[in-house]
Amino acid sequence: MDAVATIHPGMLDSVFGVIDLGAVVLDHQRRVVLWNHWMSRHSGHEAGMVVGRDFFAVFPELRGKRLDNAVLQALRDNFPAVLSQTLHKAPIPLFANHAARTSGVRIQQAVAVTPLAVTGAARHCLIQVSDVSAAVHRERLLRDQALELRSQTFSDGLTGIANRRHFDLAMEKEQRRAKRSAIALTMLMIDIDFFKAYNDHYGHQQGDDTLIRVAGALAAMLQRPQDLIARYGGEEFVVILPDMDSASGARVAESLRQRIAQLAIPHAGAPGGHGSQRITVSIGVATQAPHQPVEVAALIGAADRALYTAKRHGRNQVVIENP
């Protein structure tokens, strides 16, 4: 009885026909010898139309490109080559279906070119094309989500400006840069005056709205791309002004203070007479001079002390104290 499994004539052709990837065999002159059904379906070229033709005449846009070189290397040097989707996107004009062809959206491809030894003939090569569209789509989703998450980890959920963590990292970096390049570094510590009373009077929801408006107004005043404003906590903000001396820093602080007063946000909860009962801010300024680097904590401490001096001296003002 015939129990031995046998390869029937034509079986390999059938396998070649049904495998779910593109397979093309080229002879030593780069002429198409085999062209499977997957290739016919996605390229729009039936095997009968392409067999015997130069592969690069079928796809002239591939001439001189990496695939051209990969085929050359396989046929001449006996070396295999891979073309990744990431570095080549979709080199061969292959389409999932008629609609994709009409709109010009190609299948995302990973291509492998392998030399093929053929008995009694000069070396051939096999081109395999895999459809990686699903993997590409999955990674794009992941990447978008990762970017979204990253921006969330570094921004304040309420006001949208940088958060405390972002400030800590940026401060560390700017302090090192100031030390290395021997440039000044100024920071501002900003606090909304009588904000607890504001929340008590207007409620937390309106308190939040006001925090958002103040943060937005402060951020809009900073002109240079390297300047950073962050929410330090509660109603407290912090500003990093790299390469800025104490006098310029104080001018920036004063314009920020004026800007907030100009918003003219009513504050009926403030003690009578204070800033005509509007929202105001107190600001402490501290500068690390060039050639005199200090610890980050010392710089923050100085700005903090300046802020408390401003509070003690009646609020709605700018005070400078250097470390």
Q: Which residues are catalytic?
A: 235
Shorter beta-carbon distance to another protein: residue 154 or 202: 154
Cα-based angle 135, 138, 142 (whole degrees, multiple of 5): 135
DSSP label of 290: T
CB of 223 to another protein, least distance (A): 26
In the chain, the amino acid numbered 113 is V
Written as one string, the DSSP assignment of 27-67 is -TT-BEEEE-HHHHHHHS--HHHHTTSBHHHHSGGGTTSHH
- Single out the residue of 15, 18, 141, 147 in contact with another protein (rule: CB under 8 A): 147
Kindly tell me the number of DSSP H helices and DSSP E strands found in the chain: 13, 10
CB of 131 to another protein, least distance (A): 13
Contact 116, 33 (CB under 8 A): no
- Single out the residue of 15, 146, 182, 268 in contact with another protein (rule: CB under 8 A): 146
Can you tell me the distance from the alpha carbon of 322 to that of 316, in angstroms, rounded to the nearest whole number? 20
Shorter beta-carbon distance to another protein: residue 28 or 150: 150
Radius of gyration of the chain, Cα coordinates, nearest whole angstrom: 34
175 Cβ neighbours under 8 A, 6+ residues apart: 185, 288, 293, 296, 299
Contact letters (x/-) for another protein, 61-100, by CB under 8 A?
Answer: ----xx--x---x---xxxxxxxxxxxx------------
Contact letters (x/-) for another protein, 98-117, by CB under 8 A?
Answer: ------------x-x-xx--
Shorter beta-carbon distance to another protein: residue 13 or 77: 77
- Single out the residue of 28, 63, 143, 196 in contact with another protein (rule: CB under 8 A): 143
CB of 147 to another protein, least distance (A): 5
Shorter beta-carbon distance to another protein: residue 77 or 208: 77
CB of 37 to another protein, least distance (A): 24
Q: Are strands 318-320 and 281-288 parallel, antiparallel or unpaired?
A: parallel
CB of 57 to another protein, least distance (A): 21
Please tell me whether residue 239 binds another protein under the rule CB under 8 A. no
- Single out the residue of 136, 211, 256, 302 in contact with another protein (rule: CB under 8 A): 136
Structure tokens at 28: 């030593």
Can you tell me the distance from the alpha carbon of 319 to that of 312, in angstroms, rounded to the nearest whole number? 11
Binding site for another protein (CB under 8 A): 65-66, 69, 73, 77-88, 110, 112, 114-115, 132, 135-136, 139, 142-143, 146-147, 150
